[in-house]
């Protein structure tokens, strides 16, 4: 058994990690542009350090990234050669509204994505568009404090209204916020948030999250109104928490840890704040300011499908002596002694994907879409740029088998699969190029040297075969 007819196969990228052209054609500066590679990156993305402007001591990889802004035709042709039926990408908000609060959009930015979507359709590739992939115009960060301000909802609404009308007939799958739960873990990168020393950070984060959740419901309302064909998804950085042992306290800890992430999807999919979250916020002294119509809006405009990224499962323990954590820093968790890990310390757990899919399916009973999954690894190309990436094939093949089991043996309704970074791109967590996910190698190093030439890795033809056989031959 394979996947249903029309199953969407493809790959995923995000604007600031591939496009470059950070100030081309009227594009404004965004939060994701100003985070450098190196030791200062982490404190910035996690909102611990205010340091916004370019300086000569740091290298900012998003400025040029892999120059897809200028090379998208070549790249989409390669995706088409692999047989993609979908391509997940994000629109850079600051190409459309460079400052974020203008009255009129930037036509050059709108035209760019129109051309890109048309290029996809030339090959029968259905775009899957992330409206916000961590990015926020810097002007909105500086003037309004980004998502901490309620005014953001209006700016986002306008942005959505413009793109939904402009791309009607070209795009029908939309995701409102990439990894919406990232706001808790990397608040500057995820939502443009930074904090004053005296502030209750939880208060600021959950108020900002409320604004995003309202904005997401507003976007859903407009999308459905502009075109009933539109399908809107939420997007979760997923990965089931396991209890470290069968000790009831550990099990409860894992349940609580999962809920911290599910909270967002509970609101977007079920249309209300879950009781456990209201109680927790009350205990922590967090009060969310709401307007009268907010709860009704959330209830009426829930998402059509649930999308998520999956890289690894996670582990929770109630025992403070169990303190060995995974190296991965944004979602670091207790280390699972049964799992291997990647070169970046991300633990590898294909069955965890099946477990995560089942949990999401049981909880929401809406179609699922896996929009990110993959292995960040060091590749060693030969002189022609060819990489024998058997490790990547092994990782992906094991995850696709687990995904197939979730569909065929457990009955999970799955719309599609887009592997992360189908072409090598800048890492969101570290800013590195050397952390590669692609089927397509890009000649560029961590400091921006290289010809930017694209070449096919061994996994390119492997994935082509997977798509051709609709997942029969892994």
Q: Contact positions toward ligand P53, by CB under 6 A? A: 14, 17, 178-179, 237, 309, 311, 330-331, 372, 376, 420, 427-430, 435
Report the C-alpha gap between 129 and 171 in whole angstroms. Answer: 7
For residue 190, give Cα distances in angstroms to 19, 133, 162, 164, 429: 18, 8, 23, 23, 11
Q: Closer to ligand P53 by CB, 35 or 222: give it.
A: 35
Q: Closer to ligand P53 by CB, 179 or 294: give it.
A: 179
Nearest to 154 by CA among 169, 144, 164: 144
* DSSP 8-state assignment for residue 389: -
Beta carbon of residue 288, minimum distance to ligand P53 (angstroms, whole number): 25
Q: Closer to ligand P53 by CB, 298 or 440: give it.
A: 440
* DSSP 8-state assignment for residue 451: -
Beta carbon of residue 154, minimum distance to ligand P53 (angstroms, whole number): 26
One-letter-per-residue 3-state SS of 275-326? HHHHHHHHHCCCCCCCCCCHHHHHHHCCCCEEEEEECCCEEECCCCCCCCEC
CB proximity list for 196: less than 8 A, separation 6 or greater: none
State in Å, rounded, how far the first CA of the chain is from the last one.
Answer: 12
Beta carbon of residue 166, minimum distance to ligand P53 (angstroms, whole number): 25
Residue nearest to ligand P53 (CB): 429
Report the C-alpha gap between 326 and 305 in whole angstroms. Answer: 31
Beta carbon of residue 153, minimum distance to ligand P53 (angstroms, whole number): 23
- Is 157 assigned a catalytic role? no
CB proximity list for 472: less than 8 A, separation 6 or greater: 2
Beta carbon of residue 118, minimum distance to ligand P53 (angstroms, whole number): 25
Q: Closer to ligand P53 by CB, 26 or 38: give it.
A: 38
Beta carbon of residue 409, minimum distance to ligand P53 (angstroms, whole number): 27
Report the C-alpha gap between 253 and 424 in whole angstroms. Answer: 36
Beta carbon of residue 352, minimum distance to ligand P53 (angstroms, whole number): 13
Phi-psi region at 65: left, alpha or beta (left = phi > 0; alpha = psi -120 to 50) = left
Place of tokens 């403070």: 320
Q: Closer to ligand P53 by CB, 331 or 369: give it.
A: 331
- For residue 134, give the 3-state DSSP assignment: coil
Nearest to 311 by CA among 367, 268, 253, 350: 350
Q: Closer to ligand P53 by CB, 193 or 428: give it.
A: 428
Kindly report the length of the chain: 474
Catalytic, out of 108, 372, 380, 383: 372
Q: Closer to ligand P53 by CB, 106 or 326: give it.
A: 326
In whole angstroms, what separates CA 360 from the centre of its chain? 17
Catalytically active residues are: 372
């Amino acid at each position: 058994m394979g996947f249903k007819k029309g199953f969407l196969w493809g790959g995923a990228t995000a604007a600031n990690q591939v496009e470059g052209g950070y100030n081309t054609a009227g594009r404004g500066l965004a939060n994701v542009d100003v985070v450098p590679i190196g030791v200062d990156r982490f404190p910035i993305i996690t909102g611990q350090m205010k340091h916004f402007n370019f300086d000569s001591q740091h290298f900012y990889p998003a400025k040029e990234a892999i120059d897809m802004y200028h090379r998208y035709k070549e790249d989409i042709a390669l995706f088409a050669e692999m047989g993609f039926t979908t391509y997940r990408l994000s629109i850079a908000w600051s190409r459309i509204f460079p400052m974020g609060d203008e009255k009129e959009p930037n036509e050059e930015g709108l035209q760019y994505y129109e051309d890109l979507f048309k290029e996809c359709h030339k090959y029968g590739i259905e775009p899957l568009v992330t409206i916000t992939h961590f990015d926020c115009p810097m002007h909105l960060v500086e003037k309004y404090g980004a998502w901490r301000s309620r005014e953001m909802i209006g700016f986002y609404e306008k942005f959505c209204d413009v793109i939904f009308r402009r791309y009607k007939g070209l795009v029908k799958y939309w995701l409102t916020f990439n990894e919406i739960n990232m706001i808790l873990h990397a608040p500057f990168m995820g939502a443009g948030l930074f904090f004053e020393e005296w502030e209750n950070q939880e208060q600021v984060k959950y108020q900002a999250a409320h604004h995003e959740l309202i904005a997401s419901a507003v976007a859903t309302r407009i999308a459905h109104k502009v075109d009933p064909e539109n399908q809107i998804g939420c997007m979760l950085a997923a990965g089931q928490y396991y209890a470290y042992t069968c000790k009831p306290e550990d099990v409860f800890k894992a349940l609580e840890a999962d809920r911290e992430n599910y909270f967002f999807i509970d609101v977007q999919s079920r249309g209300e704040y879950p009781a456990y979250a209201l109680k927790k916020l009350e205990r922590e002294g967090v009060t969310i300011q709401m307007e009268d119509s907010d709860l009704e809006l959330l209830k009426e405009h829930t998402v059509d499908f649930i999308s998520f990224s999956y890289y690894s499962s996670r582990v929770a323990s109630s025992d403070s002596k169990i303190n060995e954590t995974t190296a991965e820093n944004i979602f670091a968790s207790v280390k699972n002694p049964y799992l291997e890990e990647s070169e970046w310390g991300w633990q590898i757990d294909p069955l965890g994907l099946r477990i995560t899919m089942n949990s999401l399916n049981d909880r929401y009973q809406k179609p699922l879409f896996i929009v990110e999954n993959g292995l960040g690894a060091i590749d060693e190309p030969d002189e022609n740029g060819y990489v024998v990436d058997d490790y990547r094939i092994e990782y992906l093949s094991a995850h696709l088998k687990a995904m197939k089991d979730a569909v065929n043996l457990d009955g999970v309704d799955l719309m599609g699969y887009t592997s992360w970074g189908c072409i090598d791109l800048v890492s969101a967590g570290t800013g590195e190029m050397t952390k590669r996910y692609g089927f397509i190698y890009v000649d560029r190093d961590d400091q921006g040297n290289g010809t930017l030439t694209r070449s096919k890795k061994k996994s390119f033809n492997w994935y082509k075969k997977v798509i051709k056989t609709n997942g029969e031959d892994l």
